[in-house]
Each structure stands twice: as C-alpha cells, then as structure tokens.
Copies of this chain bind each other. A is one copy, B any other.
Amino acid sequence: KPSTANKRIEKEQFLHAATPAGQRAAHGQPLPSAAGQDKGEQKEGAARPLSVPGQGTRDHPPAHTALRDRLLAAVVACFKRHGAAAIDTPVLELRETLMGKYGEEAKLIYELQDQGGELLALRYDLTVPFARYLAMNKITNMKRYHIAKVYRRDNPATTRGRYREFYQCDFDIAGQFDPMIPDAECLKIVHEILSDLQLGDFLIKVNDRRILNGIFAVCGIPESKFITMCCSVDKLDKVPWEEVRSEMVGEKGLSPEAADHIGEYVQLHGGLELIEQLLQDPKLSQNKLAKEGLGDMKLLFEYLTLFGITGKISFDLSLARGLDYYTGVIFEAVLLQQENDHVEEPVSVGSVAGGGRYDGLVGMFDPKGRKVPCVGISIGIERIFSILEQRMKASGEKVRTTETQVLVATPHKHLLAARLKLISELWGAGIKAEMLYKKDPKLLKQLQYCEDMGIPLAAIVGDQELTDGVVKLRDVATRKEVDIPREKLVDEIRRRLEP
C-alpha cells in the first residue's frame, strides 16, 4: 500500500535518473548504516567500490537480521492468532499486471530487460499480486498474510530508512461479508501489534473514501477532480490548511468558497459524537455516499468499542491516503511522541501502519470483472525496525546473532578427536554447540570466544576428564566449573538452560 510515494515524487528529484554508470563514484551515496557498522561508517561522497550492493539497497548483517527476525516473529504471531494463512507470490510479475494500478507511481516500477519471452517487472507492493492471485485462482474468500520484499525505483534516503528494496508485511481479508466486521478486525490487529511491540503511544486515524467523496460533492467539486482533491487533503498531516487551500485554489482551480467549505470538514476529527454530528449535517446527510460511509463508520466504532480499543482510534477527516484503489474505510497508524514538556499535544513521528478497503481491485484481473471485496493492512516494518534499532543502540543492549548454548573446548593439545566426539554427541541430543576450527586452540581463546558471542556454557574435556569419564562444565558468566559424569552431561546442560 504505497501511501507515501506520491509525496516523495513531488518533493524530491531522482538523483540517479540520468547518471551514466561510469560516473557512479562521483554521485556516491553513504553506505547503508547496517553494513557500515562492521567497519565504521563510510564517508559521504567517497568512491563506491565495485563490490557494494546497488544504490538504495543494503546487506543485512547478522545483528540486523536477528533483530528483524524477532520483530517479524511477533507480527506473524499476531497474524496467526487471527487465523491467517500465508501465501507467497513471485517477485517477478508480468508488466501488464502492474500497469494501471499505481497511477503516477508507475514510473517507480523496476522493469526487467527484454531478454526474449514475457515482459517482466519487479513487484511494487503485495496488494496487487494478492488481487491477481485471487482472480487467477477464482478465490472469493481468504484471510492471508504475506511478508516479503518489494521494489521501488524511488529516490533512496537511506539515512531516513527509505530503501529501494524493503519488506512489506501485509494482512488482508477478502470476501463478501457483513459490513465492517473484517474492517474492525484489521484495526484490532494494528492495535495488538503496536501494543505488543511496546513502541510507545500511538494513534490510529480512520476515515472513509465515501465520506471524503461526499464532502467534495456537497462542496460542488466535479467527480473527475475527486482523486486530485484526495491528494491535496492527504498533505494535511505535513502542512497547515492554508497551504493546502492555496494549492486547491491556485493550482487546482477551485473557487475560494468551495475550498473554504472543504476546509470546514476536513479539519475535523473526533469519535462517535463527530459521526453523529455529521449524520445530522443538513448537506452531508443528503449525499448518498457520505451517508453510507458515515453509517458504516458508526458501525465500525460500535465494534471497536466492543474490542475496547476506541481510546487509540480517531475519526479524522483529513486522512485521505494517496492510492487510487481504496473504495471505503481507510486507516493509518502513527506513533506519538512527547517532544518536550512545553508542547501540550503529542507529535506524530510518522506512519507505522496503513491500509483500507479496496473492493474493485480483484475485478480488474477477472475476465468477467467479478469483484471480490477486500480490506487489508500493511505494517511499516522497516520504520518500526529503525525505531527499535535506535532504541537498542541508545540502551547499549546487544542482540545475540547466534543461539549457541555450549562451546566444546579442550585445555591442551592433541584433543581434536575428543572434541569432535563430544560435539557430535551434543548435536545428536539437539544441543546447539560450536567448537573452534583449530586442531589445538588455546583454552583462553576458546573462553574468549564464549564471551564475545554470548555463549553461556563451555564443556571442557582434557586427558584427566577423559580418564575420569567426566566433562568439566563451565558457566561462562560466573566462571564456575563443575565435573559432570559424561552420561549426565546432556541433562545437566538442559537443566542449566531452562528459562
């Protein structure tokens, strides 16, 4: 759900759109910080050696991957708690599949070279492939999640965590159901995930495209301008109303009266009482679309009340979202942050989830245009990752990159065979064990490795231990060593590792 890319295009230029490959060094970008960690940050403007990955992409080193896996595990646990199945679709899609789905953003699609055969492109999100999948397999009913990389030839801003290759994390419910029940579950899931991850305070803004279109209609805007009006309104989270108004009047040719009229509506936000108020609005209540949208919004708030989560939900008429394909409820979650004590209202630190209802997309892939209503959410896993990473850096907490429980060590020479036999026993018992790949490593080096890697236990065998039929089990943190009869070693290790 590429909500923010439109804004990116407007605000920024392509650095590399016209850069021949040979001049790459001159346009060198800082290396992504993840890779930089291993050897100090590379300076901006430094020559990029041949061996870096492509512009705006990055390698994920072990510490990065371990933290990301932990984060994704929490998200997947929530999706599974709500009964979703996983699917996987190809990274390569037919170009035709992606064409006409992303509006202006289409120019950000990566296309493959014509090497004979079909014309291909890299997927731009997971929503369009999901719709294609449903139509192709004539599935009319499905709750699925999909976590995978997507590709956008966007202007990379790696310092702000914006890459050309990044993970999306989607949950969608497809099918013809009673109004707002799946929509409410989507919001519940966003609420659960943001709570589970302990990211701090957050707010989920909710609106409905039908309400926005109703507002535009009663303000006298022709239908052909609804989408461009949405784009203007969508900027209200970044710029004040005055700027949006002058865009409407100056660039988009609205009368000042119409713009002011729109402004009266789209600056409203609240809860159930605002819905009730708008349902009584003499003009809006006469508009069929707005009435439908408001009725459903009321129903949604009833369900969210039963879920006990309305405290973090705001019905916000300025929320518009950039994409064409939304047809009903739309939402976006932002983290809140108390910037300083003088500011009364908490400030937003950016969107971490978004989504909405798209009832027409599947029909675009069906030969007979049969529709499958869908509603879904996308968790902004890359942004959440950046926040967690910064927080861990600040707190000095280290992620273990391996799960090794025991290092098999020897105190003197000529004991490689003893180590190989013992480690083989441990692996056979399912214990996570390592040894140094040296014939005769020094004991100190082996113990140092435990400390460096956070390995909690060392199992040490020397000639004496072999004679006595024991293994010296060392607690790396306390340095306490105890002889354990060999046949009891596995049980003792398991006992020590119990949480």
Q: Tell me, in angstroms, the Cα distance from A110 to B112 when the chains sit together.
A: 7
Docked-complex contact B85 and A59, CB < 8 angstroms: no
Q: For window 118-162 of chain A, which residues contact chain B by CB distance below 8 Å?
A: 118-120, 122, 132-133, 135-139, 143-144, 149, 151, 153
Note all chain B residues with C-beta closer than 8 A to A52.
94, 136
| Among listed A62-70, A310-318, A485-493, interface-contacting one | A62-70
Q: Is the CB of A118 within 8 A of B427?
A: no
Encode contact with B along A398-432: 1 for CB under 8 Å, 0 otherwise.
Answer: 00011110000000000011001100100100111
Report the separation of the CA atoms of residues A401 and B139 in the bound assembly, to the nearest whole angstrom: 15
Complex-state Cα separation, A353 to B164, whole angstroms: 33
Q: Which of B39, B120, B144, B365 contacts A137 (CB 8 A)?
A: B39
Q: Chain B residues with Cβ under 8 A from A39's Cβ?
A: 137-138
CB pair B35–A80 under 8 Å, yes or no, is: no
| Interface residue? A240 (CB, 8 A) | no
Q: Which of B81, B91, B113, B184 is within 8 Å of A149, CB to CB?
A: B91
| CB–CB B136/A51 < 8 A | yes
* Contact of B424 with A50 in the complex, beta carbons under 8 Å: no
Known: A81-B433, A86-B66, A110-B112. A53 touches B93 (CB 8 A): yes
Determine the chain B residues whose CB is within 8 A of the CB of A380 once the complex forms. Answer: none
Interface residues in A41-94 by Cβ distance below 8 A to B read: 49-55, 57-62, 64-66, 68-69, 80-94
Q: A97 is contacted by which of B18, B51, B137, B420 (Cβ under 8 Å)?
A: B51
Contacts of A433 in B (CB 8 A): 81-83
CB distance from A19 to the nearest CB of B (A): 6
**What residue in chain B is nearest A137 (Cβ atoms)?**
B38
Tell me if A96 is interfacial: C-beta within 8 Å of chain B: yes
Q: Is A296 an interface residue (CB 8 A)?
A: no
Q: Which of B17, B135, B431 contacts A117 (CB 8 A)?
A: B17
Q: Which of A83, A110, A113, A366 has the most chain B CB atoms closer than 10 A to its own CB?
A: A83
Specify which of B92, B151, B424, B438 is in contact with A308 (CB 8 Å cutoff): B424
Q: Which of A54, A69, A86 has the most CB of B within 10 A?
A: A54
Give the shortest distance, in Å, between A438 (CB) and chain B (any CB).
5
Q: Given A92-B151, A420-B306 in contact, is the A60-B81 Cβ separation under 8 Å?
A: no
Whether the Cβ atoms of A365 and B401 lie closer than 8 Å is: no
- How many copies of this chain does the complex contain? 2
Whether the Cβ atoms of B437 and A173 lie closer than 8 Å is yes
Distance, CA A184 to CA B133, complexed state (A): 44
Q: Is the CB of A424 within 8 A of B306?
A: yes
Q: How far is the CA of A68 from the CA of B81 in the complex (A)?
A: 20
Query: Are B92's CB and A53's CB within 8 A?
Result: yes
Q: State A151–B438 Cα separation when bound (angstroms).
A: 37
Q: Show 27 residue pairs from A and B whose CB-CB distance is below 8 angstroms, ordered by the A residue.
A: A14-B116, A18-B116, A19-B116, A19-B117, A38-B138, A50-B365, A54-B93, A54-B118, A55-B118, A57-B92, A59-B87, A59-B137, A61-B87, A62-B85, A66-B86, A81-B427, A83-B404, A83-B433, A85-B401, A91-B151, A92-B110, A111-B112, A112-B113, A178-B438, A181-B416, A303-B420, A307-B420
Interface residues of A (CB under 8 A from B): 14, 16-19, 21, 24, 35, 38-39, 49-55, 57-62, 64-66, 68-69, 80-94, 96-97, 110-120, 122, 132-133, 135-139, 143-144, 149, 151, 153, 164-165, 173, 175, 177-178, 181-182, 184-185, 188, 192, 303, 306-308, 365-367, 401-404, 416-417, 420-421, 424, 427, 430-434, 437-439
Q: Which 9 A-B pairs have the closest CB atoms?
A: A177-B437, A16-B117, A62-B85, A83-B434, A57-B90, A60-B88, A306-B420, A85-B401, A17-B116
Given A51-B97, A51-B136, 20 extra CB contacts under 8 A: A18-B116, A19-B117, A21-B118, A21-B119, A49-B136, A53-B90, A54-B94, A55-B118, A59-B136, A61-B137, A64-B88, A66-B86, A80-B402, A91-B149, A91-B165, A112-B113, A113-B114, A184-B420, A188-B424, A188-B427
